[in-house]
Structure 1
């Protein structure tokens, strides 16, 4: 997956008109929506989550921890053969 493909995918998934900021790291990109000044003033940034777009195309949602920490924790999980975060794309198969 390329950075342009990652940006297109997360933009479609979030359905926002705000810009999406991508930070590349070993296993993909961390994405966060760049909120407008009025959105920030209204408090929308409090608890704002982040998304990891894995190079495999899997997207997971993460907490509002600092981006560097999220990327480090995700990279460690991937090195251990795991995916960290709640998968939102592709939608996981329902469990019975």
Structure 2
């Protein structure tokens, strides 16, 4: 269970724990959180061609949320405003993980692959599992249905296929 993160040192330690000791982050304090943005080597920044998103550690809860590529000060201000108004943090939660997603391949053709996808709630395992069939078109990559669970399952399976050269028969990841 996450704990409060009142100091910059604790924020740095949490980022190392969650993202690994080799990744470096700039950390900006806001009233309610720590806005963190990865520091990339110069060549990698130029090659990416896009703005970097940020993550924010909630000082009071230790929950980490992911945010768009707005300037870090603006991200901090938006985060503070939401928390101080009693609203949920903008962005989506990345730590602690909330769901376990399991894929089992149902069928595959030259152009498509279909998975049975099962999502389990890690915070409350008594909640009913969410299940659905996800059909992925391989080129260009598309998926049906078009909801977030299907998108995450597609992204994970595609990443596995790129790394290994074959689409996975089965697999599990958490988010």
Q: Give TM-score scaled by structure 1 length.
A: 0.85
Pair member with larger Rg: 2
Q: Which structure 2 residue ranges, 5 or more long, are not aligned?
A: 100-120, 122-126, 129-175
Aligned length: 95
Q: TM-score, normalised by structure 2?
A: 0.49
Q: Which residue in the other structure is 2:172 paired with?
A: none
* Maintained 8 Å contact 2:33/2:80: no
Structure 1: gaps (5+ residues):
none
Using the alignment, how far apart are the partners of 1:3 and 1:84 within structure 2? 21
Name the SS for the 2:35 alignment partner.
Answer: strand
The secondary structure found in structure 2 opposite 1:48 is coil
Conserved? CA contact 1:30–1:52, under 8 Å: yes
Runs of 4+ that moved beyond 6 A = none
Query: How far apart are the structure 2 equivalents of 1:72 and 1:53?
Result: 13
Tell me, yes or no, if the aligned pair for 1:22 and 1:29 is still in contact at 8 Å: yes
Higher relative contact order (CA 8 A, sep 6+): 1
